Amino acid sequence: MKYPQPSVSNPPAARRILIVRLSAHGDVMHTLPLLAALKRQYPEAFVGWLVEASAAPLLENHLLIDRLHVSHRKRWLALLKQPAQWSSLWQEVRAFVRDIRAEGYQVSFDVQGLLKSAIWPWLAKIPLRYGFKATRESADLLYNRHLPPMIIRDAHTPAVQRYLDFARAIGCEVKGPEFVLPPVPSQAATKVEALLASLPIPRQPLVVLAPFTRWPSKHWPLEHWAQLLPLLLDLNVAVILLGASSDAPRAATILGEHAGSPQVLNLVGQTDWPDLYALFQQAPILIGLDSAPLHIADAVGVPKIIGLYGPTAPGRTGPVGGRHTILTTQLDCQPCFERDCPLKTSACMTQLTPQQVLQQVKSSLSAAQEPLA
């Protein structure tokens, strides 16, 4: 599929470029092809990346990032509520801006398109500040180079392609999304190896479940996950459950009487983001929602992703490539792009059945076992 190309008007001699993508984790993954495209076109360019502290581990030690600037916005907002800390807050933020300015960036790409992202290149006085037109919060007033608007409810144009428009805007030849990840830290590789060693059957196929997300409208019912789990175990696979520490109560509901099964590895609250880079290199199948683990798995190259999509659009934030499967009910109200179901039914998610997911897993396992012709 071809996508409309942004106009290229006297593209700058891009030698020092700042990418601004603060969050969220899945969107950071979607921005990685922009980084790869810039470095492919300008291998000697100095490329920095401005990211928030929570997502910084995804980019640390990346070989294509010459400087990683980490914003501590949440901590700064907390200090803003404490008048006694205003002086130290001012000094810290001022030093942060000076640090960006000292790198001498000629071009900035604000991929996020919010005031919290647009403010930094403007404060750092970067000469050419690229961003989308008609952004929320009037962030586009801080740009002096504009790309066509990023339509939030555009269900058909992949977000990764819109981010690549920044590279196209300065004359880069873009052939397709290329995900280049940082090296897996040795401690993460060792940790994951030790965790997988606890499974009883070596080389047993791994099916990773990523059932948690912040948007209530994206949730697949816990009872559906709980019904799916024993069906997967009957396939003689090992099941790995992912999530944050705060997801532990919901994970317990999913696991139920299978919590002690030797085929189940409950990693809820036990993995950091770099650990997922190592884990997904060992996993042939991931079942997940439109959330960070799915997009990280896509970037790593997990052979088969089964994505459960309801309020959001697979055409916008689905995994890249034709090898993956998206399950969606295709109701008239989809995609609504709302955090909470406007109809109060969540039918787009509840009507997806465990049997539908199971069938896709069976097909993937059968395909993996077929001999090459």
CA dihedral of residues 207, 200, 212, 180 (deg, nearest 10)? -60
The token pair at 58 is 């995804």
Report whether pLDDT(200) > 70: yes
Give pLDDT, residue 11: 56
Query: What proportion of the chain, given as a percentage, has pLDDT over 70?
Result: 94
Give pLDDT, residue 371: 46
Report whether pLDDT(225) > 90: yes
**Mean pLDDT on 56-68:** 97
> What is the rounded average pLDDT for all residues in the chain?
93
**Mean pLDDT on 198-203:** 74
Give pLDDT, residue 169: 94
Give the Cα separation of 243 and 235 in Å (integer): 23
Report whether pLDDT(68) > 80: yes
Which strands sit side by side in the sheet containing 128-132, from one edge to the other? 67-71, 46-52, 16-20, 107-110, 128-132, 145-147
Give the Cα separation of 135 and 33 in Å (integer): 22
Q: Looking at domain 186-365, does it have CATH number 3.40.640.10? A: no
The pLDDT-based confidence of 108 (bands split at 50, 70, 90) is very high
The pLDDT-based confidence of 6 (bands split at 50, 70, 90) is low
The model's pLDDT over 296-346, given as tens digits with 9 standing for 90+, comes to 999 999 999 999 999 999 999 999 877 899 999 999 999 999 999 999 999
Report whether pLDDT(119) > 70: yes
Within the chain, all domains assigned CATH 3.40.50.2000 are found at: 16-169, 186-365
Give pLDDT, residue 8: 53
Q: Coil, strand or helix: which one is 16?
A: strand
Q: From 3.90.180.10, 3.90.1580.10, 3.40.50.2000, 3.20.20.105, which CATH number describes the 16-169 domain?
A: 3.40.50.2000
For residue 95, CA distances in Å to 52, 88, 124 come to: 16, 11, 11
Q: Coil, strand or helix: which one is 69?
A: strand
Report whether pLDDT(236) > 60: yes
**Residue 109: enclosing H or E segment and its boundaries?**
strand 107-110
**Angle between helix 186-196 and helix 273-280 axes, rounded to 10 deg:** 60
**Mean pLDDT on 61-66:** 98
Give pLDDT, residue 373: 43
- 31, 21 Cβ separation under 8 angstroms: yes
